[in-house]
Amino acid sequence: MTNKKTVLITGGSRGIGAATAKKFAAQDYLVCINYKENESAAMAVVDEINASGGQALALKADVSIETEVVEMFRQVDTHLGHLDVLVNNVGILRQQSRLTELDAERINHILTTNVTSFFLCCREAVKRMSTKHGGLGGTIVNVSSGAAKTGSPNEYIDYAASKGAVDTLTRGLATEVAAEGIRVNGVRPGLIYTDMHADGGEPERVDRLKTNLPLKRGGTPEEVADAIYFLASNQSSFTTGHNLDVSGGL
């Protein structure tokens, strides 16, 4: 379709994902935005990028389901021709709860969405990027969370545990594919102004907690997008297996 560099961003219709899509588009990447349900939000991002002179498209897939991931990457092959960057950004949380209030359905939903999806998308990306498989190399950036370090007690222990698994995936995969032309890094956002906090039942959570941070403010999706782009770009060419905290000093 083009000789431009390409990026696939999972969960790219809102928040950090949408900001990341716009960041890569501004750097002249062809951007593929994955979404699960909110087509109107995904198309709004696509339309904004295209109206600004960039190139973007949206692909619907539930990336926690293996068959849908395989089909999405088949569509990536068709529409993009090649893949240079994968940003694993999709993630969910549920209502703030203590561990004693969690059931298996919730725990498994969190882990499947936040962990299994990353493994599946990394697998398909490696098959395309790895020099061992005839690829030209590439970069993967996994979006984790500061919760992986704090454990998020009394709120989202299940979400925090899922992000701890993402950190381990980042480190292990980075070592596994380093000699195959692929770098794998992660970002750990802290208190960022996105609507994910509303999903947990507290839309104003950032404002409640921001004074606990050394920088005394919440972060923006654009600040996280800048970090993601840095790790995907040649500016970080000697960095792999690293998790970069974007958390206001916490």
Q: With bands split at pLDDT 50, 70 and 90, how would you rate the model's confidence at 114?
A: very high
159 catalytic residue (yes or no): yes
Candidates 35, 159, 193, 229; catalytic one? 159
Going edge to edge, which strands form the sheet with 6-9? 55-60, 30-35, 6-9, 85-88, 138-143, 182-189, 243-246
Pick the CATH number of 6-246 from 2.60.40.10, 3.40.30.10, 3.40.462.20, 3.40.50.720: 3.40.50.720
* Spans of all domains in the chain: 6-246
Token pair of 188 as six digits: 């750990």
Q: Where are the beta strands (DSSP E) in 115-181?
A: 138-143
Confidence of residue 1 (pLDDT cuts 50, 70, 90): very low
| CA distances (Å), origin 57, targets 22, 35, 36, 49 | 12, 11, 14, 9
Q: How confident is the model at residue 54 (pLDDT cuts 50, 70, 90)?
A: very high
Query: Is 80 exceeded by the pLDDT of residue 202?
Result: no
Quick: pLDDT tens for 170-185.
999 999 999 999 999 9
What does the pLDDT read at residue 55? Answer: 96
* Predicted model pTM: 0.95
pLDDT of residue 101: 96
Q: Render pLDDT for 142-174 as a digit per residue (tens, 0 to 9).
A: 999 999 999 999 999 999 999 999 999 999 999
Average pLDDT score over residue span 29-44: 96
